Structure 1
Amino acid sequence: MIRCAALLLCLLCSPAHAATAEAVSIPAAGFSSSPTDLRAQLFKPDTPGPHPAVVMIHGCGGAYAKDGSLNARHQMWGEYLAANGYVALMLDSFSSRGLAEICTQKFSDRTIKESDRVGDTYAALSWLRQQAGVKTDRIALLGWSHGAGVTLDAIRRQPKAIDKGFAAAVSFYPGCTNRNKKADSFKPYAPLLILIGEADDWTPAAPCVELTSTARAAGAPMQIHTYPGAYHDFDNPGVTRVRLRKDVPNGVNPGQGVHTGPDPEAREDAKRRVLAFFAGQLK
């Protein structure tokens, strides 16, 4: 009886209509350097549209877990955004290029840079604008780590083939060190929010704080929020503890590894901030 009651309580506390992702194909021609069309997973609200939309772009670990399923972070965010009235498109930049992950590669050995993936985001933007039920002028970009760097590049480089770019962007723990060296030239064309942990030893927070300060002083619509004690990957619900990844050759201390892991309090705060930010820019 106790087990039955516990099961009932669990069912009652579960989301009533968790969004199911639909596999879609995004034409690369005209925007992306990908040799073939891009794979993506589409999350839709279960309420009548049209809805604002978000293009999500993964980090150096790729979009998928080892078993081929969408990884826990991207699944969580796709469901969360759809449950709150957004069409969410989880874009895969790697599989069409024959890549699984690049986290364990030195920067100098990587065959794909953040700048190489900017075209992927605009291919996704163009595709979404052709879909029924999407508010074509209310589409944002959301990226993590390597994808967060892609986001920073994309939000200041609108292709000539696009009449209007993204309406807003959120960047989770991007690499800002090199960008901060040329901070005067960093001018996002749409509102941009950076979220990053102060303990991040993979992509440190300080250069992002400085970059934001310089951009804001020049009038750019940019803001940042940092989380004390939080590391890289702090919003990932698929891991239970912080760990030292010695297989990552890059970071603040090259060769010594980097710390990654969850911070549940920071994750929940970030979810609220992202929702409030998008509500202000997209609805």
Structure 2
Amino acid sequence: MEKMTTILTKLKLIVFLAICMAVIALILLQLPENQQGKVILLSNTDSEDKYSMSATLMHAKGVGPHPAAVLLHGCYGVSNKHHQWSKTLNEWGYTTLIVDSFSYLGIKDICTADDKIWQQFNQRRPKDALVALNYLQSLSEVNPDNIVLFGWSYGGAITLKVLEQNFATKKQGYSAGIAFYPSCWQYQQYLMSGKQYKANVPVRILMGQDDEWTQPIHCQQLLNNSKADSQQQLWTFTGAYHNFDDQQQRYQLLNNVRRESKQQPWGSVRVGYNKQAHLDAQAAVREFLNNNLSEQNKD
């Protein structure tokens, strides 16, 4: 009898452990993919505005020196999307640096922050991009003359500003830029002070045709106002909303977010992943990079 009880106890334990393992496996499957890369601390050493921020450095495959890319997040901060794009760029031969303008300050996002907070970051984030550029140019694995600036949403608007100014303290500035669904309306309202837009390097804006949060019409107006040439292009993707390239972004309606309107500055917008638009965007980005960087970095 005791032997039977021992066997039953062991069987219960085995079943319990099996259930635990299954639960753990299910949880792991639902977690975001582990990100690779080295988290570093970058510092702005400007005597009038010293501060630090974190960034993630991810290395290109193969022997360098490599072209490189700086990635700027939107108002929600760094997400899995930025790491996935970074990995894609690594596979294409690019060293990447994902700049995190928020977490070192203890900030999760500023999507619903007041105008004062936005104005502070409007002034600070172009400096973040410059600090990141100078850091990459200091690395032996990077070709300092071939560094591209990427930005998403709010980061896309900052990208447009940086590419217009496009200066570095000692070395050459960015070679080209990619802006995913930037708020061109916001750029005009808060950053441009009425000036016409003209980037100093090739720039491509990629947007969902049905984007309600940052509307393509404003970017079209921005480029038309500047008498855009082949160096400044807007590409839109049919049936795609904001955040169409984020594989973890389910289709949903976001309520009470900032919108591109002075009359109704807060409202609801649709967002969601679009696989075809994502694939088309990857092809468009690769073609753009191949056409606008040095011959040695083309496929």
State the TM-score bracket (shorter-chain normalisation).
Answer: 0.7 to 0.9
Counterpart for residue 141 of structure 2: 133
Deviation at 1:132, TM superposition (A): 1.4
Which of 186, 201, 205 is residue 216 of structure 2 equivalent to? 205
The Cα offsets for residues 93-115 of structure 1, whole Å up to 9 and x where unpaired, read as 11233321011224455363334
Q: Is the 8 A contact 1:251 1:258 kept in 2?
A: no
Corresponding residue of 1:41: 56
Q: Which fold has the larger relative contact order, with Cα–Cα distance below 8 Å and residues 6 or more apart in sequence?
A: 1
Equivalent residue number for residue 68 of structure 1 = none
Q: Cα 1:105–1:178, aligned 2, differ >3 Å: closer, same or farther?
A: closer
CA distance in 2, matches of 1:51, 1:61: 30
TM-score by length of 2: 0.78
User: Is 1:24 equivalent to 2:46 in the alignment?
Assistant: no
Alpha carbons 1:31, 1:120 under 8 Å: kept: no
Answering whether residue 200 of structure 2 is matched by residue 189 of structure 1, we say: yes
Paired positions, count: 256
Residues 157 and 186 of structure 2 are in contact (CA less than 8 Å); yes or no, is this contact kept in structure 1?
no
- Which residue number in structure 2 is paired with residue 157 of structure 1? 165
Match of 2:282 in 1: 271
CA shift in 2, pair 1:218/1:275, >3 Å: closer
Q: Does the CA-based 8 Å contact 2:35-2:83 persist in structure 1? A: no
CA distance in 2, matches of 1:31, 1:49: 34
Partner of 2:255: 246
Q: Confirm or deny that 1:143 pairs with 2:143.
A: no
What's the Cα RMSD here? 2.4
Partner of 2:5: none
| Whole-Å separation in 1 of the counterparts to 2:128 and 2:230 | 24
Runs of 4+ in 1 over 4 A off after TM superposition: 178-184
Match of 1:232 among 242, 253, 268: 242
1:137 and 1:81 map into 2 onto residues whose CA distance is 17
Structure 1 unaligned spans of 5+: 1-17, 64-70
The 1-side partners of 2:251 and 2:270 are apart by 7
State, as a whole percentage, how many aligned pairs show the same letter.
30
Name the larger-Rg structure.
2
| Residue of structure 1 in register with 2:25 after alignment | none
Distance 2:279 2:216 in 1: 19
Is there any run of 5+ residues in structure 2 with no aligned partner, and where?
A: 1-33
CA contact (8 A) 1:23 1:40 kept: yes
Match of 1:90 among 98, 105, 111: 98
Deviation at 1:221, TM superposition (A): 1.9
Q: Cα–Cα, structure 1 residues 141 and 280, in superposed 2: closer, same or farther, change >3 Å?
A: same
User: SS in structure 2 opposite 1:27?
Assistant: strand
SS at match of 1:273: helix
Aligned to 1:53: 68
Matches of 1:175 and 1:92 in 2, distance apart?
Answer: 19
2:267 partner SS: coil
1:93, 1:117 within 8 Å by CA — same for their partners in 2?
Answer: yes
Task: Say if 1:173 and 1:195, in contact at 8 Å, map to a contact too.
Answer: yes
The letter of the residue matching 1:214 is: N
Query: 2:245 and 2:186 mapped to 1: Cα distance?
Result: 24
Residues 162 and 50 (structure 1 numbering): CA distance in 2 closer, same or farther, change over 3 Å? same
